[in-house]
Amino acid sequence: MLKWLLFGGLSASAAMAQSSSPQIEMANLREDVRGLVQRVGELNLRIEQLEKQNAELRDQLGAATPAYATLAQLHDAIAQLKHSIETGDANTAERTSAQIKKLGDATNAALDSLAKGMATRPVVQTTFSDTYPKEGVSYTVQKGDTVALIAKKTGAKSQDIINANKIADPSRIMVGQTLFIPTAAAK
């Protein structure tokens, strides 16, 4: 690039030299040389910056520890593991067997507990009566609400709320759920 700048600058000066006086030619050449000197100085600064960055990167690379294993290291590790497995003592097998038995017993106890809990649950209602009042209001379930509490708040009967909304498990109403609350017609 420097050659191009030098050649281009000198060619322009040479072209101008044919049509102008020697003083103008000399001034133009000085200006071209001054421009080239300035450009060379800028390029030198850039080279220094790049060399500095390159040195910093080399330092960082030198300080970094390798985060990989060599093939030989992997072979050694596999050989050690294989040796450990082959020479493993009988206690390891016994401990593993005891842990599996203990986990099996704990799992069986948890399943028995769940089965007992299911046996004591009340039967889920699957049929609903149509004998509730057909007029009523909407109610959005709030945190802490139960069917009994909603009945008390609204003056409705719990069984009417269950039947009107076909609630199979009254303990499983959810916050934000909208229920129809049947109310007796005013007389």
Sketch the domain layout of the chain as residue ranges: 2-62, 136-182
Predicted TM-score (pTM) of the model is 0.36
The residue type of 40 is: V
Measured CA distances, 141 to 14, 175, 179 (Å)? 95, 5, 7
Q: What is the pLDDT of residues 88-98, one digit of tens each?
A: 766 677 777 78
Which residues are CB-contacts of 65 (< 8 A; sequence separation ≥ 6)? none
CA 185 distance to own-chain centroid: 56
CATH number of 136-182: 3.10.350.10
Measured CA distances, 68 to 15, 81, 119 (Å)? 63, 19, 58
CB 132 within 8 A of CB 166: no
pLDDT by residue for the chain (187 residues), tens only, comes to 445 444 555 555 555 545 568 899 998 999 999 999 999 999 999 999 999 999 998 888 777 665 566 777 778 888 888 777 777 766 677 777 788 888 878 888 888 887 777 666 666 667 888 889 999 999 999 999 999 999 999 999 999 999 999 998 888 899 999 999 998 765 4
